Structure 1
Amino acid sequence: MREEKHQISAAYERDRERQGPFEMDHRLAVKQYSRSSADQEEPLPHELRTPAALLLTMDYLVTHVMDAESRDSGDWFHFIWDRTRGIRKDITQQQLTDPVSVGLVEKCARFHVHCASALCELPRDMFDQKINNENLTKCLQTLKHMYHDLALRDVPCPGEPEFRAYDILLNLNEGDILREVQTYSDAVRESAEVQSALRVYVALSTNNYVRFFKLVRRSAYLPACLLQRYFNQVRTRALDVITRTFCPPKKVVEFPLSELQQTLGLESEAECASLLRQHGLESEQGT
């Protein structure tokens, strides 16, 4: 049906030997996501993949598609996003709550965390940050319910601290996130991942920009991907504090550009100078 309607991924499902743009290689085809609608019939059992089949699907996507060389293109994101969304839908329709299903949703969440930073400079028609954030939020919500249900059955979830921490980092500007943390189990709340996320929360809420960027430098890769969304906010507040603290009215004050670059977590002095110009501050000869 997809081949007839030309709904195949030319980059990842096309049959290279037959040369046609809409010729599908069925060995490469992955079940496409279909949006639920009122007139859509309830799927038959054989149309839904078992946890074992879903795990094989995810393993294929991770090993053969996520490492593809064309990852800088929109096709890469849209293909993986669509197929992982299909995995999540199969899990939801069967109401699966088991360690395998939890692991699959966790991998989906990690993919969206990675893309939030890795693809942020792509144009919107190739990568939509808002859509990516919405899917990451849905993954974390699903995991929240799964962790709760499995805890009632005394089934441990080793990845829970990691993803609870991501939930905190995604909502650092939300006032009720601390109330949410109080609902975590003692083991999760005291875990290194959650405690690290809470330290970032305190640094951001108290406008401690020096502490914030020190924590960013010490962060693991995926938490740092989530923290990138706060860089502009922290830098703008920092420059406001710095100018009010060090610069008396009607007086020119020289400040080392390299020190400011290090403090604000910028990659070069040129990038620092560009940021200053955007905020109406001049720089020359390293100051």
Structure 2
Amino acid sequence: MSPPPPVGLCLDMCSEQERRERERHRRLHPLEIQNGQFERRNFRQGSHPFADPGRTVKEYSRPAAGRELSSPRDLRPPATLLRTVEYLLMEVWEQVNEQDPKSLSLAYPFVFDRLRAVRQDLTVQRISGTEGASVLEGSLGFLLCAPYLVRDLPLEDYCETLHSTQVRESFAELMECYSRGGRFQRQAEFQALLLLYDLGNLDAMHRTLQLPCSIKNSPEVCLALAINRSYLEKNWVRLLRLVRQLDCLQACAFYRHLPDCRSQAIRTYTHAYSSRNCSFPLGHLTCLLAVDSPFKVSDLCKRRGLVVTSGESEFVLFHKASFKDVDLECPGREIQLVEMKKDDVSWAEVMIGQEMCPV
């Protein structure tokens, strides 16, 4: 029999031992030091920054680093982990200016790393069920929204591959929590988010169809399944029409697939409407592709060798002979599909969900 998992005893977001150690070795993040310490001009360059116990959060530690990861005094129980997630989103990210790259490059690596440490504490203690699900749901809210917000950050601040790995591992652990049974208020929502993130994954669709009817027949899961079926059938008109119905968090989960779906749609239209005497209205194509402006659609077409006529009314000339394959565009800003869905709530509120927002 395997020994029972350790039970966390640390009621702070970071144990005092780690806080003092990182303070001594100058490994505190700027968001963890006492307010205004680095802003004071008379702060001596050689002196130590001081940790703010209310802002310092346990950092992720690699198991191979030789550090003990299962000490109860360093592990946080589920209630503390949930409070940590709420702090990282509703206190730290709430203060981020999403239009300022410096603000994003400061906050994103910090929140990403600390949420990774939260999941590590869950894993070491083998926390599952409703307690584990609540923590993972909040973390996934951030992980799904962040790629849209930090899409323009350099590689040293945002690694898409590492981020995607954390999303997939978090989803896997969340589905394991759901499989243990219990009452999960947001299960249908996150089952749908997994389908949208893993678009076209037959295994994910099959698992969803085996769920209880209350989950399988929920509006969000039905919509996500319909989008997946449209993708597999290559029905791009229906797919992009359905994508317009997604809420902000769902649109962020689907966001990474937009360049591929639009590229395949243009390829399909090129074969369907290839004719010397056929010209397709650019404005109508903009609507079908769910793009914010005709200028973006014109660029998409021109990159693929298609001719876009100029004049009072612009048209696309779909000729198969002139079509060429190009690398997919990097996902960019999406006003209609993402930002307009946010309404008047903050990004932190979108991430954490209305169920966890403080009243």
Following the alignment from structure 1 to structure 2, what is the Cα–Cα distance between the partners of residues 42 and 101?
18
1:81 is matched by which residue type in structure 2? F
Contact preservation (8 Å) 1:213, 1:263: yes
Unaligned runs of 5+ in 1: none
The 3-state SS of whatever aligns with 1:105 is: helix
Are positions 1:13 and 2:32 aligned together? yes
Question: Could you state the TM-score of these two structures normalised by the residue count of structure 2?
Answer: 0.73
1:118 is matched by which residue type in structure 2? L
Larger RCO (CA within 8 A; separation ≥ 6): 2
The corresponding residue for 2:303 is 278
Which shifted more, 194-203 or 179-188?
179-188
Are positions 1:4 and 2:11 aligned together? no
The corresponding residue for 2:278 is 253
Following the alignment from structure 2 to structure 1, what is the Cα–Cα distance between the partners of residues 154 and 142?
19
Following the alignment from structure 1 to structure 2, what is the Cα–Cα distance between the partners of residues 118 and 79?
15
How many percent identity over aligned positions? 24
Which shifted more, 239-248 or 73-82?
239-248
Contact preservation (8 Å) 1:116, 1:226: no
2:118 is matched by which residue type in structure 1? I
The CA deviation string for residues 88-142 of structure 1, in whole angstroms up to 9 with x for no partner, is 1111111122423311110001111111222223332222222221111111111
Contact preservation (8 Å) 1:116, 1:133: no
The 3-state SS of whatever aligns with 2:64 is: coil
The corresponding residue for 1:92 is 123
The 3-state SS of whatever aligns with 1:44 is: coil
1:127 is matched by which residue type in structure 2? Y
Q: CA RMSD in A?
A: 1.9
C-alpha deviation, 1:177, in angstroms? 2.8
The 3-state SS of whatever aligns with 1:218 is: coil
The CA deviation string for residues 245-271 of structure 1, in whole angstroms up to 9 with x for no partner, is 2222xx253221111111111111111
Contact preservation (8 Å) 2:189, 2:221: yes
The equivalent position to 2:95 in structure 1, one of 54, 63, 68, is 68
Aligned length: 280
The CA deviation string for residues 141-179 of structure 1, in whole angstroms up to 9 with x for no partner, is 111111111x1xxx2111111111112112223333332
Note the 1:28-39 alignment, pairs <5 A. 28-37=55-64, 39=66
Note the 1:134-145 alignment, pairs <5 A. 134-145=165-176
Which shifted more, 104-113 or 172-181?
172-181
Contact preservation (8 Å) 1:32, 1:86: yes
Pair 88,261 (structure 1): closer, same or farther in 2 beyond 3 Å: same
Following the alignment from structure 1 to structure 2, what is the Cα–Cα distance between the partners of residues 96 and 47?
15
Question: Could you state the TM-score of these two structures normalised by the residue count of structure 1?
Answer: 0.90
Are positions 1:120 and 2:138 aligned together? no
C-alpha deviation, 1:84, in angstroms? 1.0
Unaligned runs of 5+ in 2: 1-20, 316-359
1:120 is matched by which residue type in structure 2? R
Pair 105,227 (structure 1): closer, same or farther in 2 beyond 3 Å: same
Are positions 1:236 and 2:263 aligned together? yes
